[in-house]
Chain A
């Protein structure tokens, strides 16, 4: 099973997506979604180990994606979701964390390495010694 674990990256900006991919390549198996509906479809079909979620998305925003995931009745509702968004106001953070996000990062204020660090930390806490 460990080989099939991958992370789902939801990011609608193609350049930011490429920049994330640049660092993630070789570290994780990654799948990318560029809008909310696509994110939920990929989530359902591939059962990722972790979701990296932007909030401002076309078709369905990240809050709705997060809410849909956390309202599931199966084990997939416990998949950790790290919000990486440029919305950075307290109310956005509080809302996302209340909906069940594991972490909240302001995109412009972190480097890709810091995002990797958070992913490692979160994956580490849920999958010891995979």
Chain B
């Protein structure tokens, strides 16, 4: 029930009570009169009294109705309307983050004006804090990108020098050594490239190269590359899938999706105690291709679940584990998934310990 209806009805009830009291006093007075006055005089007085009081009661009733309606409109325009406008402004900010002016707030009662001022202060504070976060994030992105560029020049020198050295007359063992150094310098170049890509993805500047991708082949390749790590940490790693023909091509930037799956599978292995299982599976349905990574690991504590896709967030039980993550992985992974028009979600396993992450991608 709205505020103004409540006020109007309250007033109406008050007047109705007053009218009832008047009627009751008439009845009481009639009793007194007939007891005190001679019969014929009493009849006359009674009739005029009755008349007078009935008129009063009716007048009061009409007045009550009029006042209620008037209050309904007056309160409506002075209290309810500014309150509704304020609510609209608050809802607008909550859903879209857009600040709007509140119509007629200057004519509103003082209490509502100060509510509006408080709301304004609250928004200022929210925006200040958001700006602070954005600034920090930008500084961090700039730092990553500058540092990565700085790495590239010496890396180029190392790589080119080693490649030049490869062409010299080397013994077999020297060749093998230079070969390793060349391989590792290329790895380093790739890492720097990934860092730059991540910083571009994070700031929304990355340009994806989408192509129809056979997810079965991609996942098979990635899972195979984790076999040594799985063996070392005594985790059983499986990939279960439908036949390739049954899995339609997904729309994917191959390198970026590979990065996402690498992260998911690596996390699953590292957060699963020895003897556990990591099961990767793929399936299609509802115009999407799904890749699931299910582990029997330590799980994600309930209070952390809402936050694990936030930047730099690391679940409480993740910090002590051997994995020295920076808390960016899942945030970037989800950003990549949503940039594809897909999504990345997770759920605690229902039938046992551990977590299942699900990457969904649109069909090509």
Contacts and interface: CB of A to CB of B under 8 A. Distances in A.
Interface stretch (B130-138, B159-167, B267-275, B314-322): B159-167
B18 interface: no
A47 interface: no
A109 interface: yes
Interface in A1-29: 13, 15-16, 19-20, 22-23
A107 interface: yes
A91 B205 contact: yes
A33 interface: no
Contacts of B153: 13, 16, 86, 107-108
Contacts of B161: 15, 19
Chain B interface size, under 10 / 10 to 19 / 20 to 34 / 35 or more: 20 to 34
29 contacts: A13-B153, A13-B157, A15-B157, A15-B161, A16-B153, A19-B157, A19-B160, A22-B164, A23-B164, A86-B149, A86-B152, A86-B153, A86-B156, A89-B196, A90-B200, A91-B205, A106-B193, A107-B152, A107-B153, A107-B156, A108-B153, A108-B155, A108-B189, A108-B192, A109-B189, A111-B159, A111-B163, A112-B163, A113-B163
Contacts of B159: 108, 111
B156 A16 contact: yes
A59 B240 CA distance: 59
A10 to B, nearest CB: 15
A16 B163 CA distance: 13
Given A88-B152, A111-B160, A111-B163, 6 more contacts: A15-B161, A19-B164, A90-B206, A109-B189, A111-B159, A112-B164
A127 B166 CA distance: 32
A89 B200 contact: yes
A122 interface: no
Interface of B: 145, 149, 152-153, 155-157, 159-161, 163-164, 189, 192-193, 196, 200, 205-207
Contacts of B149: 56, 86-87
**3 smallest beta-carbon distances between A and B, as pairs:** A86-B152, A19-B160, A108-B152
Contacts of A15: 157, 161
Contact of A108 (B145, B156, B163, B207): B156
Given A19-B160, A19-B161, A108-B152, A89 B205 contact: yes
Contacts of A88: 152, 193, 196
A87 B200 CA distance: 13
Given A19-B161, A112-B164, A90 B152 contact: no
Interface residues of A, number: 21
Interface string A108-130: 11011100000000000000000
Contacts of B163: 111-113
Contact of B160 (A16, A56, A87): A16
B165 to A, nearest CB: 10
Nearest to B150: A86
Interface in A72-120: 86-91, 106-109, 111-113
A111 B300 CA distance: 44
A106 B149 CA distance: 11
B47 to A, nearest CB: 98
B256 to A, nearest CB: 14
A20 B207 CA distance: 31
A15 B149 CA distance: 17
Nearest to B155: A108
Contacts of B155: 108
Most chain B CB atoms below 10 A, which of A22, A86, A106:
A86
B157 A16 contact: yes
B2 to A, nearest CB: 54
Contacts of A86: 149, 152-153, 156
B294 to A, nearest CB: 36
B164 A89 contact: no
A90 B156 contact: no
A112 B182 CA distance: 13
B145 A112 contact: no
Contacts of B157: 13, 15-16, 19
A15 B145 CA distance: 23
Contacts of A112: 160, 163-164
A111 B193 CA distance: 15
Contacts of A108: 152-153, 155-156, 159, 189, 192-193
